[in-house]
Amino acid sequence: MEQRKKIMGASILFLILVLLNIGLSFIDFSRLPIFCTVILAQAAILIPVIIYLIVTKQNFFQAIRLRKVNIWSLLLVIPLTYLLEPLMACINAFSMAFSTNIISGTMNSMVESSPYLMVLSLVALLPALVEETTFRGVMLNGFHRDSNPWPAILFSAVCFGCMHMNFNQIAYALVLGIILGILLEASGSILSTMMVHFIFNGTSVTLIYLLPKYVEWYLNYLAKSGISPEQIGLTQQDLDAMQNIGSVSADTSPEQMLMIGAIMIIPAVIGLVLAGLCIYLIAYLNHRHLILKGMFTKKTPEQKQAMRADRVRIMNPALGIAIGCCVVFAIVQEVLIRTLL
């Protein structure tokens, strides 16, 4: 009964977050600075989560699994994140072949109007803290069963993906959510998933800032050397593409995105295998490798019996309505964008 209450509580919380997020989308925040809208969006997630923890009288640190973690395993999170980049790029390319990238314009606007550290804090640090607390913390903990963590990992990843409410982000956020759930089980601490989330977003922000500066430096270098861009085969279109990578990605044709995705398959597979080794090392350093191994090995009859005894259905009306609202919103948004374009 206690497990059913936790699942229902987490489901109702997710439904509230979804309805609140959809409601905010109908309010015109265009007069506010863009950093204010980002803070409001994150506050609309964090405040209900805090209220939920207070009402249910849960210990914050236990609810989100904020625990000590082996320092060397945290360092392994850095290469782990970059090993996953080809996979995320591959999924992003395939999803953009069938959906619209709606965040590139927002990112470019923030970069053009705000200092680097501010954008890094708002786009990388704040979501890493808020979204991991919510989805790998409260949600996964609400769905979690010790005998079988997979349903909790999968459902929390679905919630994480759906909360982005556009098909492009839903695709890679869902896969990333599953990997982060496995990493949480491997490390035992949400600090590891927060680091991955921060590095992912922080790398994107940093590249958007650095690329135009690099292009400017390169053009100055060519000018001092007496070489024009045309002499080395660079057109003005190429230079514009290098300086504004977000818009270029959004303007790339579906056929080109499919080709990019196909090219990225092999690096994605290799990166995923190496990332799996990193996750195992992280589990080993935190003395949780047997737990991780148990997630991927065939269960004994006794273990299967324990899983059946501990089995509680996660899907319920509140969770179904919330996921349905996200999908419908994403469809409507995609149709409206394509109509306007």
Cα–Cα distance, 161 to 268 (Å, whole number): 20
pLDDT at position 104: 66
| Of 268, 248, 174, the residue nearest 208 (C-alpha) | 248
Cα–Cα distance, 49 to 41 (Å, whole number): 13
DSSP states of 259-315 = HHHHHTHHHHHHHHHHHHHHHHHHHHHTT-HHHHHHHHSPPPHHHHHHHHHT-----
Residue 204 has pLDDT above 80, yes or no: yes
Average pLDDT of every residue of the chain = 88
Q: Which residue has the higher pLDDT, 300 or 184?
A: 184
Contact 299, 115 (CB under 8 A): no
For the chain, the domains span 2-340
Q: What is the pTM of this model?
A: 0.91
For the chain, percent of residues with pLDDT exceeding 70: 91
